[in-house]
């Protein structure tokens, strides 16, 4: 019998106006930190030339209900767009 491979959940978060929004996004991510296995933050620019938009990529653990609730909380913030997907090799 073949070993069942786990389902992986990846969430992406697009943040506009990072200087105004980043603190609110960070508070939500901290509150839900036990769901976050991996986090990667990307934005263009360095030093005095930082962009106002950023992208955060998360690998999540936990239940689909928890993922949906986290996504909903992030999407309530102005200038934030979050979405997630589940990936698996299983044919279900």
* Residue 69 neighbours by CB under 8 Å, 6+ apart: none
Mean pLDDT on 48-74: 93
- Asked if residue 80 lies in contact with residue 8, where contact means CB atoms within 8 angstroms, the answer is no
pLDDT digits over 1-39, tens only?
Answer: 566 778 899 999 999 988 889 999 999 999 999 999 999
What is the residue extent of each domain of the chain? 8-87
Quickly name the fold that domain 8-87 has.
Answer: Alpha-Beta Plaits (3.30.70)
In the predicted model, is pLDDT for residue 81 greater than 90? yes
Q: What is the pLDDT of residue 47?
A: 67
The model's pTM is 0.86
Q: Using CA atoms, how far apart are residues 70 and 1, in angstroms rounded to an integer? A: 35
Q: What is the pLDDT of residue 2?
A: 60
């Amino acid at each position: 019998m073949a070993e069942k491979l786990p389902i992986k959940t990846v969430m992406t978060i697009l943040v506009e106006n990072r200087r105004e929004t980043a603190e609110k996004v960070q508070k939500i991510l901290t509150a839900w930190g036990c769901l976050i296995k991996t986090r990667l933050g990307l934005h263009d620019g360095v030093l005095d030339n930082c962009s106002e938009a950023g992208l955060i990529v998360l690998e999540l653990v936990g239940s689909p209900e928890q993922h949906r609730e986290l996504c909903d909380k992030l999407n309530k913030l102005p200038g934030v767009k979050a979405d997630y997907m589940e990936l698996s090799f299983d044919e279900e």
